[in-house]
Structure 1
């Protein structure tokens, strides 16, 4: 059994969208939990087994998988027919893994540091900065409409997510903005938002 611990309007919302894109909503038990929010609201939820009280957390037959990029890799490997990932042996499997890892290792730290208005040479050397993030995205989007080619993938879903929930961090670069618009024009974007709306009302 697959169980997803989810807090509406949080980083786990992108996993809800992925589950919808994969067509497996009826195969996942979604547990709504509370989390501590940046505005001071929320808090630790005893119903959430994540050791740090965070989301998303996926549990598959008793095994916990945490971190968005790990969960996305796990699910796209588990349901390859949807075409949102790249299986072992496919030519662009390495690119797929790299985009997923780059998000967690570089993009999110850069956006968080920028939002916190923190700057230090060590951070710059380790993570680089927003200009480098934009340059990497732009270089790929000059070649293909999505990160892995002509079709939307879980890599796009993950990389576009911070620019959806932190719109102030969205670079004023036409190629990047057009890519965000393409990703957000897909039905799953609205469906995931409606799911969260319903969860909050409930």
Structure 2
């Protein structure tokens, strides 16, 4: 059994969007949970087994998988042919497997940290040496999208949904780069993405 602990309008939203994109939403037992919000609302839900009270948390036959990039990798490996016309993962042995893993890891190790630090107004030589900064992250995206339409190869992947999701939250920070803007628009305007957002706005 697959159980997804999910808080609407949070980081776990992109997991639900991926599941819908893959056509596996019916395989998920969705558990709506509360989390502490930046505006002071919400709170930790004792029914959520995540060790930090966060989302997403995927539980598969008792095994816990947390962190968005890990959950996305787990699901795309578990359903390597979903959807059949354009799978969202790249399985072991696929020529783009290395790029797929790298972009998923880059999101958590570099992209999200530099944007969180930027939004918080924090700047320090140690963080810049470790994570670099927003301009360098943007340059990395621009370089990748100058070569192809998607990050990994010539087809969309879960890595595109993951990285682009940041700009769904911070639309004012979408770089003034036509390649990136076009890519963000293509990612965020997909029916699986917009329909989940629309549904969550009514919760």
- Given the two structures, how large is their TM-score scaled by the length of structure 2? 0.95
1:27-84 deviation per Cα after TM superposition (whole angstroms, max 9, x unaligned)? 1000000100111111111121111110000000011000000000000000010210
Q: CA RMSD in A?
A: 0.9
1:111 partnered with 2:115: yes
Aligned ranges 1:54-65 → 2 under 5 Å: 54-65=54-65
Aligned partners of 1:97, 1:125: CA distance in 2, in Å?
23
Q: Which secondary structure does the structure 2 equivalent of 1:73 belong to?
A: helix
Q: Which of 134, 151, 160 is equivalent to 1:147?
A: 151
Query: Contact 2:96 / 2:153 at 8 angstroms: preserved in 1?
Result: no
Query: Contact 1:3 / 1:58 at 8 angstroms: preserved in 2?
Result: yes
1:119-171 deviation per Cα after TM superposition (whole angstroms, max 9, x unaligned)? 00000000000111111101110111111222211010000011101122221
- Gaps in structure 2 of 5+ consecutive residues: none
Question: Where does residue 73 of structure 1 map in the other structure?
Answer: 73
Question: Where does residue 188 of structure 1 map in the other structure?
Answer: 192
Aligned partners of 1:110, 1:169: CA distance in 2, in Å?
12
Aligned ranges 1:35-184 → 2 under 5 Å: 35-82=35-82, 83-184=87-188
- Given the two structures, how large is their TM-score scaled by the length of structure 1? 0.96
Aligned length: 199
Aligned partners of 1:195, 1:31: CA distance in 2, in Å?
16
Structure 1 runs (4+) greater than 6 angstroms displaced: none
Aligned partners of 1:42, 1:171: CA distance in 2, in Å?
32
Bigger shift: 168-177 or 45-54? 168-177
1:25 partnered with 2:25: yes
